[in-house]
Amino acid sequence: MKNSTVLLFLMFLMLTSGGFAQKSNGQAFAAKGKDVFPPFKDRYLGQKPPGLVPQLFAPGMVSTKKHVESLYTFTPDMKEFYFNRVGGKYKKTTLFVMQYKNNQWSKASNLSTDIKKYRGRFKPGSSKIKNLAPFKDLPIIGFTVSSKGTYYVYFLKRDGSGHLSCSRLVNGKYEKPEKMDKHINSGKWIAHPFVAPDESYLMWDAEKNGANTPDIYISFRRKDGSWGPAISLGDKVNTAAYEQRPRVTPDGKYLFFWRGDKKARKDGSTYWVGNPYWVDFIQLRKELLKNSH
């Protein structure tokens, strides 16, 4: 991964630092038999859902050509959607929110002056985790957490080395983070994990097999509790560009991820382009499961 990619990565962390990781996925609501989500036709900002070919998410509304949008997340009830934007008139990373009220989505509102207030909706943040044993003083970059409280955290250095570890909640206490096996921890720039609420799968991005841009991988949980091999999400998702930050919608239906690239101007200077994409995760998961056996 090029040094400029590290800068993009750090730019993303300025706002998030794990603070926007959701404690539980909205599928937990569905498991209780409660329809808390907006109607399907409205649920994704009124956008037409994609199939197995990833599509740019909400072009002109969220994804733009003038800016880089890198953070994107629904609240667990899918009645708020957050994203950030930088570039053009936004010299600093700026957070936006859209809210579903009175059967319609509001226009995007700028939250750059009130970020701390909205971070509270995505607790626990990394600062809180780092104050808990056995996470205290560990150089955790980010994390994902399952419905039963298992944390999957990642550690990453500027040279691209790092790894994913997990820590289970046992009898009200967290175990010491244990480094995951080679199925997960292979390649460089291993980052941005996302675990299913029931821990049936784990996704992350990394550079493998000599690649110089990251791709997204998935591992399925085996019957014996171990993790299966890392499976690439395929050439429809993973391209020569940068694919990072997988995240499944709270209803479990769609996979969101970031796709971007570094461009060069005539004067030799460089700039970034990139936006969130989405793809039908139910169909994709079926295809990937076939490849896991």
Instruction: Enumerate the β-bridge partners of residue 263.
Output: 271
Instruction: Check: CB of residue 236 under 8 Å from CB of residue 53.
Output: yes
**Residue 30, pLDDT above cutoff 60:** no
Q: Which residue has the tokens 């003083």?
A: 137
| pLDDT, tens only, 201-239 | 999 999 998 888 999 999 999 999 999 999 999 999 999
Phi, psi for residue 286 in degrees, rounded to 5: -60, -40
Amino acid 216 reads I
Residue 127 exposed, middle or buried by CB count within 10 Å (0-12, 13-18, 19+): exposed
pTM, entire model: 0.87
Listed by start position, the domains of the chain span 3-291
**Residue 193, pLDDT above cutoff 70:** yes
> Rounded to 10 degrees, what is the CA torsion of 126, 130, 132, 133?
140
Mean pLDDT, residues 34-49 = 91
Phi, psi for residue 73 in degrees, rounded to 5: -165, 145
Q: Of 18 and 269, which is predicted with more confidence?
A: 269
Grouping H, G, I as helix, E, B as strand and the rest as coil, residue 224 is: coil
Amino acid 164 reads L
